[in-house]
Each structure stands twice: as structure tokens, then as C-alpha cells.
Chains A and B, each alone.
Chain A
Amino acid sequence: MTTTSGHPHAENPAREPGSPPGGVSRRRFIGFVVAGATLTVAAEIGGAEPASAAVPSVPQVPELYDLGDLQTHSALPTSQLIRITVDDHGLAHFAIPRMEVGQGITTAAAMIIAEELSMRVEDVRVTLAPARPELVFNQLTGGSNTMQSMFTPIRVAAAVARGALLQAAATELGATVASLVAKGGVVTAPDGSSRTYAELSGAAASSTTTAVDVELSPTSSFDVVGTPRSRVDALEAVTGRKRFTMDLDVPDALPTMVCRPPTLNGSPRSIDNLAAVLGMPGVTDVVAVDTGVAVRAATFGQCIDAVRALRVTWAGGTVEGESDDSVLARLKAAELPMAVPKVPLLTQTVDMRFEFMFRSSAALEPNCAIADVRDDRATVWAGLKAPIVAQRNIAKALGLPIAKVDVNVVTGGGSFGHKLFGDAAIEAAKISRAMRKPVKLLWHRADEPRQGRTHPMATSRIRATLLAGEVLTFEQRHTSIKTDFSHGLGERLTAMASELPAGLGNLGLAESIFTLTQELPYDFGVVTQLLSEVDMGFNTGSMRNIYSPDVACANELFIDQLAKKVRKDPLAFRLAFLRNERVKACLRKVAEVGQWGRSMPPGTAQGIAIHSEYKGATAVLVEIDCRPETVGRQIRDAVTGPRVTKAVIAVDAGLVVNPRGLEAQMMGGVSDGIALALTSSNHLQDGHFLEASWDNYFYTRQWNVPPSFECIVMPSDAQLPGGAGEAGVAASVAATACAFARATGTVPTRFPINHGTVSFTPKTFVPPVPPSPTDGLTHTY
């Protein structure tokens, strides 16, 4: 694997933190030393930097101010603070108001603090902050926005801490601040005398909260940020010590599962064998809630048995009788018309429609939460990317004031957008309230594809006109089942705004987000890209990108067809029309490293594609093998099919905090892209999804992985990080689709390409979960 980190950034002479400002400098910021016995510093978030344009940020803010309660913001001018504490062991502590789901933000935050505080990464402890409603806009993990939004505030706070420690050291060592050197958590004076941060923490503390003017060190002086670092939680992960929600020991929170309806979003009318199930081994409680019938037992195994034993009369769901075809028909009917711009005679027209099936965004850790609800208060533990919204929704469901609901954010076993919503946390709170006992709620795997959130089905129609090798017009009409954005911007005002009557708020938001995230970096004359949505009652959400993987797949496949029409090579055609130099640089890089155009055997081919989003750019080159002997290879209970044999991805993510982490995100993005293009979807049939587990829902497995993977991190002179978590997906799905088209000579128009075949026998809907096997000892190796 090749990893090239960003080259040094623009010089800017360093000055002592706290020294008087000399003219206007964009590096100067205000931070705070907070009153306390040990050194605690703070910096504002949301104020220090403009928030990102990716997903839910900036452009919505003016709308929200129109709608929202200005008072909330203006009354709490100093509440939007993030704090770093340096304790008397010399450790720096930071509770990040974001959720770690594997994307590496705790590692990156520790690196930034270590950098600015001149200490070891190992001495920085980053934890996840509980729901902090006072943070309003600033506690949403999504849109690959964490590093974009947190980079500068973390630096400011750490720089304030460093300044305070140096001041204290100057007093104790009898030296000027300017003469001191801080390194590895030790401050050394010219005479060789020194103090550790542990020794200075008390002296550096302040009895009053004071504002401090700081100057950030120039990015060119970085020696931690920009270097490859392993994850701060890697040791916990490989030893099994890393704690996820279901690993927490909350007294009396017994295992709990829900018997769910046979059709999507059905609800229980009556429990027909309550006494029998209550008498089953281990079972303590059985109650009906709006989503199903909850069972609490001594072990999850006994919950599964009870769920299977329950006889429930169900009310119908929200999509009774619907199937893939009926939903597609609704989408087709809702497609916005093309604008039909006036074009000269003799133009050629290309017109294509692509279809993208429902996909489950579930992580390997299923939806889960612990809830302990009492008469007057509630405590919840869950993986939540928008904990403020979850807190509000839990309070609403329980009829409690928000201040009486404590929401603890637990590191997640993946998210991919799935944990933007507090579905399990809200459900657990309702069940705990109904049972009057603490519960540890776990969704059965089968519940996830069947009742959990999905990436909505969508179609993308594109029409372009060509004249003499030029593209005159490019029109795209993306039509999608409604994407639920009611996690808002992670903030309660917007959550309310997007719940406006008749979905008005949400529609506006969706269109805005579509416009904000879809960038077509080609010079294609008159370009229009429009979104329309259909609300049919599906449980949806963003899935590692919102619209981009589908839109990019459609666009890039279409662009290959345009290139073919004018008899140009796909790479040459893209380079001729791309106007974004960063995208071009990525594209040239993957073409070079991946040897674009090399001779390949029949039935195999390369594909190349680009994407531009999150203040960055990606390009992907893949090679695919569609020969019968590969497509037909047999692996037990597996979908094999075409094999991507090589993937090369180049990413320009702006200033890179941790190239090793960025590469990991690109690797995951490629795995997702391959799954979206080739294998993974939900089949809707008669009001329910057929998939029930990983042997039905075919996410990329080792037998689908490209044996050759290479990631190139492009150099950047950007002063801020771009987004990383989702950036690798869109160009990957597109490149895989393009390669498949070139290898087979047939342009696929429905994704994933194997959706037409149901490659498994659907598991039962009543009972809703499969039996636990007993033959495990016959499969040892």
C-alpha cells in the first residue's frame, strides 16, 4: 500500500501564545481558561470556523434562524464550549461532542491535542460527551464533518492550555515564557531545569474564568498531525476489552428483545399466549409497545426463544402489499420532467435511467440501547450520532422534561448513517417505562434489514445532448423514496423544523441537501440536477453518503456512454471536461498507478470514475473479472459473481490529520462501493423485506474483496481537513459499475446488478426471527 502524506503548509511565524496581537491574523483565536483546581481550558465550537457545506451545515443555518429560537443561541454565548483538562498526572482529557463509530475521530482528536499541547498522543484521553443540549448545532456526527468542524476549536483549546502551562512554568523556573521549550509533556528552561505538565497542572489552573487570545502554531510546524498513527483504541479492540453498549454492566438491565411484526411497521393488536410466554425459562416480562412485543429475560438466548414462541395479532404496516415494482412505478410517476433546453439541429441525444434498490444501512452491531426509566427520570446508554435529538425524542415519549433524561453516548460498532437516529434508544426507554425495570435492548439481526432503516430506493434519469464532440446540456432527475432527515442538524430546533406539517420542512431540507452535496465537476454546458421525493412510509436514512453513491454511479456510467458516443477514451474524455484541478489530479494519479488502458483478457476490464464532495476529491480505478469461471465460483451460502480484482483510490481530503486512518476509510469506502454495485440490496415483496441476515444481505465479504488494493493520499496545501468517512464510496461504486459495463459490453441500469436474483430462501416472517442453531460443534476448524 502506498501512502503519501500532505506536504508542508504555508509558513507563518510562530509567536508566544497570549502575546499581543500584531495586526490582523487569521490564526488568532479567543479561548478560555476555566476556573478550577486543575487546568481546564475551553474553546468555542461553531464560532471559530464556518461549518462545513457537506450535508447538514451552513446553508441551512439562515433558514433555521428564521424558524428558530434566536434566544436560545443568544442567551448562551459561552455555553458552546469544548473543554480540555490537564490533570495532575499530566494527562489531557477531552470529551468530544461527537460519536466514534470506527471512523477514527478519537484518534485524530488526540493527535491534534498532542500536536498543539506538545505532548505524547498516548497521554491524551478522548471520551465521548453525553448529550449536551446547550451545544444546539454542534453535536451531530454526520456528513463526514467532524474533522472539518472540530479541527480548529480543538487546536484553540489545546493552545490555551499550552500557554497556561508555559506561564506557570515561567514563574516556577524563573525564566521567560519565550525561552521555554515544551516537548513530550515537559517544559524545559535554558538552564536545563524542567517541570512536567503533571507538576504544572495545579499552578496553571485559574480561580476565575478568563478569555485568552491565542495564536495557533503554523501547520508547517506539525510533527504529529499528518503522520500515520494507529488508532488510540486499537489495543482495546484486539483484546476484546473495547466496550460497546451491550458490553456495559448496568444493574438489573436484563436482556430484552422485541417480537416484531411480519410486515414493515406493523403494530401489535393483542398477545394471544401471554401467560405461556411469561412461564418460559428465564423470562421476566412481556409487554406490548408500539413497535412490537418486548420480552425481557435472563439471557438473550431466552429472549429469542420467547420471541419465537409469541403468538401476536398484528395490525397492518405502512407499505402493505407494496413490492419493488410498485415502488419503482411510483418513482417513475414522480420523476420531474426534463427542461428540454433549446439545442441546435443535428445534436445527438443520450437518455438513460438508472435504478437503485433499497439497501440496509445496518452496522454489524445491531440497533441496541440500555434504558433505566424511573417515574421522574431516565438514563439511556446508546450509540447515538445525534444525541440531543434522541434526548428530546426520549423525553417526549416518556413525558419527562429534557433535563431529566440523561443520554450517554457509547462508542458504536459501526454506523454508516444507521445511528443518526435514536430508534433503539427511544424504543428501550418505552419498554423500560412499560416494564418499570431497566432493560438492555438488542435488535435481532433479522430485525435490521426487515424493520430497520434503509437507504431509499431511487432512480436517476439523465439526458445529455452532444454536438461535434461538445456536451451542450446535461439534465439529471433524481427521484427517491423520501430520505428521513428528522435527525435535523443534530439540534432540537431543526428537528422540529423538519417535522413541520405535510413534510414541508423535510422536503425543503432534502432539496437543499441534494443541491449542496451534488457537485458535477464537468463543463457540460447547461446543467440541471433536480431531486423529487416520494413518501411511502419506509424507514429511511442516509447511508454512508446521502445521494452521492447513486448519483455518481449514474453520472459516471452515463459519462462513459458519452465518451463512447464521441469515440473517446473514458479517461481522456473526463480529463477534457473536468474543470476541478483536484479531481483531475486524483484521476491522473489512479490512471498512472493503476495502469489505465493496459491490455486485459476478454471478460475483464478496467473502470475509472471520480467524485467531488466534502471539500475534497476522489478517483477510483478498478479492474473486474466477469469471466464465467469467476462469476460461477462456488462458496457455501455466498454470492460470488463478478470479482473486483484490483482497486486503486486517490483521495484529496485537504489537510490530513491521520493518513493511516484516512486510508482505512478509503478501504471501507471501496468495500461499500463494491457491495452497492454488485451484491447488496433488500428485496421488497408484499409489504416486507425478504432479507433477514448476512446470508441474505450480501455485504462485501472476503471472497468479494479485491486482492490488490492501493490508496494514494494526495498532497494538499489546504489549511483545514476535508471529509473522509464517506468520501470513498461514490467513486468506488461508479468505477465498479463502469468496469462491469466495459467487461460485459452491457451497461447495467439496475443496482446492485444481481438484484434480479433472490439468492436465498427467505426466513420466516412469523416467527420473525430464525431459530438459534445447535450444530455449532460440527463446523469447527
Chain B
Amino acid sequence: MAQHTFRVNGEAVTVNVADDVRLLWVLRDVLGITGPKYGCGINVCKACTSHINGKAFNPCSVQVKDVGPDDEITTIEGLPDTVGADLHPMQEAWLERDVAQCGYCQPGQIMAAVALVRKVRAEGRQITDEDLDGIRNVCRCGTYNRIREAVRDGAARM
């Protein structure tokens, strides 16, 4: 067992866990942060999508030893705080469009959408159909069209 310190949703945390435990399980099983979901464990379904230092990543594929005290992990639970509001504009867009069906993939979808909008904006352009086609998050309920609309709507609100 080793001690690992990093930041989650604005707070420094220290956990006692083996070096190679993937961050998803540190978040869920050790810290009780259950917003990021397990859907495959191999960085394919993207249900656990969260942010590290503002960029989208999948904690199922990162060992806890690879994050350090300066790394800021943001899960869906911490997303509103990044804009100092009760809800992030992307979450508001999601509610407006009533995107969720079962809801299981939704935290990952929203975190992916926020990162996509930031990325596209940094490139100085608007979201395109190709950008939306490139979202890898699985929604087994198939509410993909509402996701596409909400990403565009959320981008306009961000």
C-alpha cells in the first residue's frame, strides 16, 4: 500500500491504495465518488469520462500512481463548481433537451461534451457534424440525437 495525493473536485485527497489501482476504482470504491460509471474498463465505452486538469480522460485507464498532488481531477460531481454555479451550462442544456433515458452514460457524455466544446473553441471554430460523429461515448438507450442537439445547445450557453 502506498499513499497517493491528488486533487478531486477542488479538494486535496490522500488515499492508501496500491500504485496500480486504476483511478476509476479509487474514485468509486475508495472515495465513494460514483458519478463516473463502469461500462467496459478498457477505455472504450467512455462511461467514466472525467477531466484531468480540464481535459477529458478515462480514469479506468490511469493508474493512481500516475497522478500527483498538482493534478486536478474533476468528475461530474465537481463540474458545476468549475463555473461557480449550481449547474454547468452543459447540464442545463441536457435538462432542456431531456437527454437522459436510463442516465447511466450521462455523466460521461456531459464531461465529454464539455471537453469537446473547449477543444473546438481553442481551435477557434464551431462544433461540426464531424465533431459530433467523433464522440465515442456509448449510449445503449440510443438517445444520440438529443445528445447531438444538447452539445450544440450547451456550446452556445458556455
Contact = CB atoms under 8 A, between A and B. Distances in A.
Interface of A: 1, 101-104, 230-231, 233-244, 246-247, 249, 255, 281-282, 298-302, 304-305, 362-366, 411-416, 442, 444-445, 635, 637, 660, 664, 667-672, 693-695, 699-703, 705-707, 709, 769-770, 772-777, 779-781
13 contacts: A102-B100, A240-B36, A241-B35, A243-B34, A299-B25, A301-B21, A364-B39, A365-B102, A414-B104, A667-B146, A699-B138, A702-B144, A777-B62
Nearest to A660: B98
B134 A703 contact: yes
Interface of B: 1, 17-18, 20-26, 28-30, 32, 34-45, 47, 52, 55-63, 66, 75-77, 80, 87, 91, 94-95, 98-107, 110, 115-116, 119, 129, 132-148
A781 B104 contact: no
Contacts of A364: 37, 39, 45, 47, 102, 104-105, 138-141
A414 B58 contact: no
Nearest to B93: A238
B23 to A, nearest CB: 8
A633 to B, nearest CB: 9
Nearest to B112: A781
Contact of A667 (B25, B107, B142): B142
Nearest to B131: A702
B41 A444 contact: yes
B30 A299 contact: yes
Contact of B18 (A231, A302, A664, A694): A302
B106 A237 contact: yes
Given A237-B100, A238-B99, A772-B41, 16 more contacts: A102-B101, A103-B101, A241-B35, A299-B26, A300-B38, A302-B25, A364-B47, A414-B101, A664-B98, A701-B144, A705-B148, A769-B41, A773-B61, A774-B63, A775-B61, A776-B58
A777 B52 contact: yes
A249 to B, nearest CB: 7
Contacts of B133: 635, 702-703, 705
A421 B108 CA distance: 27
Contacts of B63: 774
Contacts of B104: 102, 244, 363-365, 413-414
Which of A702, A703, A709, A773 has the most chain B CB atoms inside 10 A of its CB? A702
Contacts of B40: 445, 693-694
Interface centre among B37, B129, B136 (most CB of A within 10 A): B136
A702 B150 CA distance: 14
A695 B42 CA distance: 10
A412 B23 CA distance: 24
A238 B95 contact: yes
A772 B60 contact: yes
A343 B42 CA distance: 59
Contacts of B1: 281
A681 to B, nearest CB: 15
A776 B141 contact: no
A282 B26 CA distance: 12
A239 B42 CA distance: 24
A509 to B, nearest CB: 28
Contacts of B39: 364-366, 445, 694
B56 A671 contact: no
A412 B102 contact: yes
Contacts of B30: 298-299
B107 to A, nearest CB: 4
Contacts of B129: 707
A114 B10 CA distance: 40
Nearest to A236: B103
A336 B4 CA distance: 65
Given A776-B60, A777-B62, A705 B144 contact: yes
B44 to A, nearest CB: 5
A781 B119 contact: yes
A265 to B, nearest CB: 23
B61 A413 contact: no
A146 to B, nearest CB: 15
Contacts of B98: 230-231, 234, 660, 664
Given A240-B35, A255-B29, A702-B132, A304 B145 contact: no
Contacts of B137: 702
Contacts of A706: 145
A255 B87 CA distance: 31
A258 to B, nearest CB: 14
A779 B58 contact: yes
Contacts of A772: 22, 41-42, 60-61
Nearest to A445: B40
A75 B75 CA distance: 53
A771 to B, nearest CB: 8
Counting chain A CB atoms within 10 Å of each CB, which of B20, B25, B55, B61 scores highest?
B25
A776 B38 contact: no
Given A298-B29, A302-B21, A702-B133, A777 B77 contact: no
Contacts of B60: 772-773, 776
Contacts of A305: 20
A265 B46 CA distance: 29
A282 to B, nearest CB: 7
Which of B102, B107, B133 has the largest number of chain A CB atoms within 10 A?
A: B102
Contacts of A702: 132-137, 144, 147-148
A780 B140 contact: no
A674 to B, nearest CB: 9
